[in-house]
Structure 1
C-alpha cells in the first residue's frame, strides 16, 4: 500500500475522530454548564436539595444528553440544515429535541426522587415520575436547554465558516496585532471552468463547485491545511511552514484532493456529467498576517508570496502540467514522504516580476 492510500485511510479515521472529539467537547461543556446551574440553585436553596444524590443524577443525565444530542447535532442535524428545506429541518430538529428532552428530564426527576426515597426502580415508578415532570420546572429547563442546543449549533456553524485552525486563532486573538510569518500557499484552479459553467448553467454550476469543495475539504484538513479563500472556482490553501513541510503535507494535500474527487467520479458523472480537475501552483515566503475589517472581520495575508504562487499556477497550461511549485519550496520538503520524483522546468520570469524563479513539476504528471 503506497503512502497516498495510507493517507486516504488516515483521512477516513480523521473525519470520524474529529466528529467524535466534537461530541465529547459538547458533552463536557454541557456537563460544566449543568454543574454551574446546579450549584447556583443549591446555593440559593440548600435545604431543598440532597447534594450527593441530585448531583450524581444531574451529571449522569447531562452526560447522556450531551452524548446523544451532541451526536445528533454532529452526525444528523447539521446535515439536515444544509440539505433540507430550512423549516422542514427545523421541524425535525425540534421534534427530535423535544422527544429526547422529555425522556431525559423525566428520567432525571425519577432518579432524584428514587434516590431520595430509596424506592426500587420499576416501570410504574418511572411512568409516575414521567407524568410529574411536566410542570413549570420542565418548561423552564426545556427552554433553557433549547437555547443551549441552538447556541451549540450556531457555534459549530461559525467554526466551520472560519475553519477550525482560523477559528481558534480568532478566539485566542492571535492576529489582533499583525505578525510576520513564513507560510506556504497553494492556489488550486478548476480546469475548463468556463466551459463547464456554460454547459451546466448558473445554479447547477454553483452546486457543482459546492460539491467539489466539500469533497476536497477533508484532505485539506487532514494535511493541516487552512482554507484561506474560495475565489470563484479557485481554492487558496495555506500552511505555516512547519505544518506544510511536515510529511510533505502541502504536496500530499494536492494529490489527496485529486484522489478524493476520483473516488466520487461516478457521483459527478451521474449528477453533472463532468469531472472536476484541478491545476495548482505552490510557493513559500513571508507574509504579514492580521485581522482586517470592522463589520466582516477576517484574517488576511499580505505579501508577494501570494502573487507568486498565483502566477506559478497560471503557468500550468503553458508547461503542460497540473502541478507546479518553486524549487525553493521543494528544497524544504523531505521527498521520502512522497511517491513522486520531480524535474526542473527551468528558471522562469513570472509576469510582473524581474527576478527569475526555478520551477519544478512531478516527473510523471499523474
Structure 2
C-alpha cells in the first residue's frame, strides 16, 4: 500500500495534470472555434481529428503531471526563499525554456500522426521550422504561459491554505456543515515565552518557522493534517479511521519528537535553543463547515477541541509530555511499541465532568519514516 506521504504527493501531482488538461481543452476549443468561424487555414496549425485530440489531451495531462513533479521535488525547494512574484517569474522562464525543448519533440509527433508520414521525413521538420516563426507558435507559448501561471498560483495557494483544505473548498465538501468523527492532537512548545524573550521577535519567528518545518514530514507520513498554528501551538487532526489505522495518531507524536531530536544540533547552533513540546490527544464528534464572510475557513466546531486543549494543559500537572484520553486508547490496537500508564479520572480545568486519562510513552525510540 502507498504511504500517506506518497498519496499526498500523488494527489498534488494529479491536480497539476487536471488543471493543465482543463485549460488545454479550453484553449483548444477557443482556437478551433476562432479558426473555423473565420475560415482561416494555416499550414503550421495541426488539424484536429480524434487521434490528434486524444494525443494532445494525454500529452497535456502528462506535461501537467511533469510540472507538478518538478514543483514538488525540485523547484519549490530551489525558490523557497524567493518572494511570490520572483518565484512565479523565475519559474515561468525556466518552464518556457523547458517546454520549448518539449515542443520540439511533441510537435513533430503530432504532425506525423496527422499527415500519416514518417516522423523523420523532411516535410515534418520543415513544417516544424515554419511553426517556430508562425502566429500559431506565439499562440501556443501564450497558452503554455497561462497554464503555467494558473498552476503556479494554484500551488502557492495550496501551500498557504493546505492541499486538503483547498481541495475541499473546490469540491465543496464542507459547503454544507457535516458531522464527523475526528482525532485531535494539541501540541505546545515548552518554555516558549522564555525563548521568545531571549531571541527577539524576528529571530523567534524564524525559530518557529524552522520548528514547524521540522515536524511536517512526521505529520504527513501518518495521515495527519495541520488544522491551525496558534503561536507555538499546533493543532493536528485525522479522519477517525485514518488516525486509528496502525496507531497513526500515536506514531505521529513520537515521530515528531524524533524529528526534533535529529535537528537539535541545527537548532542549538542556529538559535541556541533546542525546541521540545508536550501534547494532548482526544477524539469525538465535530461539526465541520465553511465559515466566514471576509475570509472563509473550514472550521471544526465541538467540545472535543476544548477538551483536547485541556488535556494538553494537564501535562504539566502530571509531569509528562503526552496525555491521551482513555476512551481513545481503548479504540486503538496498542502494541509492544507503547507503554500505557493510567492516570485515572481527572477533572480538567473549565470542565464539569471528569475524564479518564493515560500517559503514553514509546518503547521503540526510533520509528523510521
Shorter chain as denominator, the TM-score bin is 0.7 to 0.9
3-state secondary structure, aligned to 1:335: coil
1:255 aligns with 2:254: yes
Residue in structure 1 matched with residue 82 of structure 2 by the alignment: 84
Q: Which runs of 5+ in 1 are unaligned?
A: 1-9
Distance 1:274 1:346 in 2: 34
Is the 2:188–2:277 contact (alpha carbons within 8 Å) kept by the matching residues of 1? yes
Q: Say whether 1:168 aligns with 2:167.
A: yes
Q: Which residue of 2 aligns with 1:269?
A: 268
* Deviation (angstroms), 1:342: 0.8
Aligned to 2:346: 348
Counterpart for residue 68 of structure 2: 70
**Structure 2 CA distance for aligned equivalents of residues 172 and 358 of structure 1:** 39
Partner Cα separation in structure 2 for residue 54 and residue 303 of structure 1:
54
Aligned to 1:237, the other structure's residue is in SS state strand
RMSD (Å), alpha carbons:
3.2
Deviations 1:259-318 (A, max 9, x none): 222222332233223222110011222333222111211122222221221111112122
- Post-superposition CA distance 1:169-201 (Å, at most 9, x none): 323323223333332221100111112212222
- 1:142 corresponds to which residue? 141
Change (3 A) 1:242 1:61: closer
Partner of 1:301: 300
Q: Is contact 1:106-1:133 (8 Å) kept?
A: no
Contact map agreement 1:110 1:130 (CA 8 A) in 2: no
Give the distance between the partners of 1:364 and 1:60, measured in 2 at CA. 48
The number of residue pairs the alignment matches comes to: 355
Q: Is the 8 A contact 1:57 1:112 kept in 2?
A: yes
Task: Determine if contact 1:175/1:299 at 8 Å carries over to the other structure.
Answer: yes
Please say if residues 214 and 260 of structure 2, whose CA atoms lie closer than 8 Å, have aligned partners that are also in contact.
Answer: yes
Asked whether 1:245 is paired with 2:244, we answer: yes
Q: 1:95 to 1:217 in 2, by over 3 A?
A: same
- Say whether residues 1:227 and 2:237 are aligned partners: no
Question: Which of the numbers 337, 340, 344 marks the counterpart of 1:339?
Answer: 337
2:16 counterpart residue number: 26
What is the distance in 1 between the residues matched to 2:205 and 2:129?
49
CA distance in structure 2 between the aligned counterparts of 1:171 and 1:28, rounded to whole angstroms: 13
Equivalent residue number for residue 91 of structure 2: 93
**What corresponds to 1:7 in structure 2?**
none
- Which position in structure 1 is the counterpart of 2:186? 187
1:302–1:349 CA distance, 2 compared to 1 (3 A): same
CA distance in 1, matches of 2:237, 2:104: 49
> Alpha-carbon deviation of 1:164?
3.3
| Structure with the largest fraction of helix | 1
CA offset at residue 332 of structure 1?
Answer: 1.5
Distance 1:235 1:317, change over 3 A: same
Cross-structure match for 2:291: 292
What per-residue deviation string (whole Å, max 9, x for no partner) do you get for residues 142-190 of structure 1? 1222121121122223333333333333233232233333322211001
Identify which range, 116-125 or 185-194, moves more after superposition. 116-125
Pick closer, same or farther for the CA change 1:135–1:305 going to 2, 3 Å: same
Distance (whole Å) between structure 2 residues aligned to residue 85 and residue 150 of structure 1: 15
CA 123–157 in structure 1, closer or farther in 2 if over 3 Å, else same: farther
Q: Shift of residue 125 of structure 1? A: 6.8
**Gapped regions of structure 2 (runs ≥ 5):** none
CA distance in 2, matches of 1:83, 1:133: 35
